[in-house]
Amino acid sequence: MAEAAAGMVWPLPAVWCPVVNFCFYSSMYLSGLFLAALSLRRYLGVVAPVRFRERRRPGWVLAVSGVIWLVACGHCSVVFVAELGGRGEDDGGGVGGPKVDLV
C-alpha cells in the first residue's frame, strides 16, 4: 500500500522490500495450497465417506500442513536469494564476477 500511495516508488528502507514481497507471495501460495488441500479432503469425504472417516488423524493434518508451509515458503524464498545473491544488474556482481568493458 505504501508503494502504491507513493506513486509506485518504494518509500520504505530497502531491507523491507524482499521481506514484504516474501510475506505477500507466501500468503498467496499458502492460501491456494490450503484451499486445494481442503477441497481434496472434501472430495474424499463425499466419494468415500465411510472409509475416509476412519482415516482422520491429527498427525496427518500436521504433516500435510508442514509440507504446504515448506513448499510455499521455499518457493517464495527465491526473493531473498535474488536480493542477497545479486542479480547482476548495475552492481557488477552476480554470477561471473564484475562486468568488464572490453572496448
Q: What is the dihedral of CA 9, 13, 19, 24, to 10 degrees?
A: -30
- Among 28, 39, 38, which residue's Cα sits nearest to residue 71? 28
Judge whether 79 lies within some domain: yes
**pLDDT tens digits for 55-89?**
678 888 899 999 999 999 988 888 777 777 765 55
Judge whether 92 lies within some domain: no
- Among 39, 7, 38, 4, which residue's Cα sits nearest to residue 24? 4
Residue 34 has pLDDT above 90, yes or no: yes
Is the model's pTM score more than 0.95?
no
The one-letter amino acid code at 83 reads E
CA distance 34 to 74: 16
CA distance 70 to 64: 10
How many structural domains compose the chain?
1
Judge whether 95 lies within some domain: no
